[in-house]
Amino acid sequence: MDLLVYPTHSLPTAAQPVLVGLGLAVHFGVLSPWPALVGLFGSWVIHVAGLFTDNHELLRLHPKLPEHPELVHAVETGALRLATLRLAVVGCLLLAVATAPYLYRIGGAPVLAFGVLGVVTSLSYNGGPWAYARRGQADPLFVVMFGVVGVVGTYFIQAAAVQGAPQPWRLLASLPLPVYLVGLPVGALVTAVLLVDDLRDHEFDRVKGWRTGAVLHGPDFNRVEIALLLAFAYLAPLGSWFLLDLGPWMLLPLASAPLAIGALRTLFTVRERVRLIPLTPRMARVGLVYSALLGLALALAPR
């Protein structure tokens, strides 16, 4: 069952803002890896809970739609039950809750706020009455959650561990400006992965009544949006160098450009859905390499 419902790119996706937050912590002298790793585990299992919820709603609302035929077959043969998916969601959330006391002792109420925001965003992707993915509203939320919230949360918990946080909200408000901005290209690359999925599944999304960009404006709209997100990600290092005064080390993520160019070439030349399936983990790999290089660049950049 795990192999059916768990996309292998979920952990690399959850790790991307953490890599940037670790690099920022080295740069500003507040590195504390253990709280950051505990936070990564919590955010990852919340992310997986959202994936299970997405699969649950797909099978509940559209049990015969062959968007993911392996899931449909598993349900029909009894290998997978909706109740099992619900238990998996609860299990993931309980694992996330298990990290809360430790993280709360370090960072106080802001940590709980980050966690609640993560849970609501993850489960509401395709669950509940305000499922924002069905309305085509996931793109900006993904940029903010993975490009700002994830990075800020990773940095904040380390700063609180090293400096102490008797007034945690004041500490959060006083974080250096780069902490809030430098992760935006990572958010853009994670969103590009989402848009690849939307492009691949746009015919199924039309049947489901979803209003994604690819459904409303056609698949080429998604292709252009993905290209613009990648262009932003690879221009952002110049802004980090000159506008945030982080120095030329910020150009290091550009070394991942050949991976991005190859993915774009596939994006604009492949039309068959089945041949687009490998592009999702491939685009996730672009984001992971970019994030690792960005974290390294921040760690090496002189303060």
pLDDT in tens, 147-156: 999 999 999 9
Statement: residue 26 has pLDDT above 50: yes
Burial degree of 170 (CB within 10 A; 0-12, 13-18, 19+): exposed
Instruction: Indicate if the pLDDT at residue 53 is higher than 60.
Output: yes
* Interatomic CA distance for residues 137 and 268, integer angstroms: 24
CA angle 28, 31, 32 (to 5 degrees): 150
Residue 66's pLDDT is 84
Cα angle for residues 243, 18, 43 (degrees, 5° grid): 130
Residue 181 has pLDDT above 90, yes or no: yes
pLDDT tens, residue by residue, 108-144: 999 999 999 999 999 999 998 889 999 999 999 999 9
DSSP 78-141: TSS-HHHHHHHHHHHHHHHHHHHHHHHHHH-HHHHHHHHHHHHHHHTSSSSTT-GGGGT-HHHH
pLDDT score recorded for residue 67: 82
Give dist(CA 39, CA 115) in Å, integer. Answer: 9
Average pLDDT over residues 168-190: 97
- The model's confidence at residue 217, banded by pLDDT at 50, 70 and 90, is very high
pTM value surpassing 0.85: yes
Residue 224's Cβ-side half-sphere holds a number of Cα atoms within 13 Å equal to: 7
- Average pLDDT, stretch 90-98? 97
